[in-house]
Amino acid sequence: MDKTINTELGIIQEVTVEKMNFLYIEIPNDIDNQKKAWPTFEARFPSLTGRKMYGLDYGESKLYRVCTLVLESDHGELFGFDQFEFEGGTYIRLRLKFDPPELYEKIGPAYQLLIGHYEEDINWSFPFIEHYKAKNILDIMIPITK
């Protein structure tokens, strides 16, 4: 895919997700657990300034990882979390730009749009990614095979 596609939800593009080191907690993959986990996860950090937050959806295993990138300023501190290295890959990204709570209401439709359009290209062995870029910007990404 060499171009961008404009949709009612946002712009779709192919992107390369680079290798990343995460701190994380793993929870059952449902909305109620996710709503509870995010505030608990964020509360363990002395500050959220500079933190990049991600949600990784491991589909068939029914697991969801609430994640943040490991920062140099962490100085090896794990804050009571586990750590792992995500290898990255090729993804299709849909960037949502809406104010909360509408932003969160668009997550399900965003996944439906991407899965419906790219179902035959999805690499089901990799997680779907939610990258929380700002209060009103969320990237929904699905892995594809090249």
Q: Are residue 39 and residue 53 in the same domain, yes or no?
A: yes
Predicted pLDDT at 56: 97
How do residues 32-79 score in pLDDT, each as one tens digit?
999 999 999 999 999 999 999 999 999 878 999 999 999 999 999 999
What is the rounded average pLDDT for all residues in the chain? 95
Using CA atoms, how far apart are residues 75 and 145, in angstroms rounded to an integer?
Answer: 36
Q: Which of 86, 106, 128 is the last residue of a domain?
A: 86
Q: Which residue has the tokens 């363990």?
A: 44
* Whole-model pTM over 0.95: no
Q: Are residue 81 and residue 25 in the same domain, yes or no?
A: yes
Q: Are residue 40 and residue 56 in the same domain, yes or no?
A: yes
Q: Are residue 81 and residue 32 in the same domain, yes or no?
A: yes
Predicted pLDDT at 61: 86
Q: Tell which wins on pLDDT, 3 or 91.
A: 91
Q: What average pLDDT score do residues 112-138 get?
A: 95
Question: What are the two backbone dihedrals, phi and then psi, of residue 117, each rounded to the nearest 5 degrees?
Answer: -85, -35
8 Å CB contact between 128 and 142 = yes
Predicted pLDDT at 60: 79
Overall domain count for the chain = 2
Q: Are residue 2 and residue 53 in the same domain, yes or no?
A: no
